[in-house]
Amino acid sequence: MNADTKATGAELLLDNQVCFALHSTSLLMTKVYKPLLQALNLTYPQYLAMLVLWEHDGLTVGEISQHLLTDPGSLTPLLKRLESEGLLKRTRSREDERVVMVQLTDKGRALQEQAKEVPQRILEASGRTPEGLQKLQQDLLALRDRLHKSL
């Protein structure tokens, strides 16, 4: 930060905040996803949980929450809804009743095929090349990892 920046207060302008750029982009990204996911009868948080399960079926609630960087308690209502839709099954571990295992049903696995067009539609909406979007994702993941380490 140079002396001119300090004198003008530019460091406190909303549009100069990385956090706001990330936040506002996230809000708009979710809006772009909304109609795509409505066709799958999923909300954005449900879609994220399904992505984890399509990649690693048979995880515990705790493991899913680790992948999503969220609290396990906040996942329970979401997973109950997906179970009521017939997309997954939750069962208590025989070794430890506190542990809940989550597995996709045939219907949940079949939904993956329908969801395959979503990434392409997001790419189109972004106006970027596949390589450009991948580079942006890599930069964001690196930022996320650095922020996580700073906690």
Q: What is the CATH number of the domain that holds 87?
A: 1.10.10.10
Query: Is 143 within the bounds of a domain?
Result: no
Categorize the per-residue pLDDT at 2 as very low, low, confident or very high, splitting at 50, 70 and 90: low
Question: For residue 64, is it within any domain?
Answer: yes
Q: Is residue 72 part of a domain?
A: yes
Contact 75/66 with Cβ under 8 angstroms? Answer: no
Q: Return all residues near 109 (Cβ < 8 A) that are at least 6 apart.
A: 54, 57
When comparing pLDDT for 8 and 146, which is higher? 146
Pair of tokens at residue 66: 């680790």
Q: What is the pLDDT of residues 34-84, one digit of tens each?
A: 999 999 999 999 999 999 999 999 999 999 999 999 999 999 999 999 999
For residue 4, is pLDDT > 70? Answer: no
Which residues, other chains included, contact 49 with Cβ-Cβ below 8 Å and sequence gap of 6+? Answer: 64, 68, 75, 78, 79, 82
The string of pLDDT tens digits covering residues 96-144 is 888 999 999 999 999 999 999 999 999 999 999 999 999 999 999 999 9
Question: For residue 9, what pLDDT is reported?
Answer: 85
Q: What domain range is 88 assigned to? A: 44-108
Q: Angle of helix 72-84 relative to helix 44-55, nearest 10 degrees?
A: 90
- What domain count does the chain have? 1
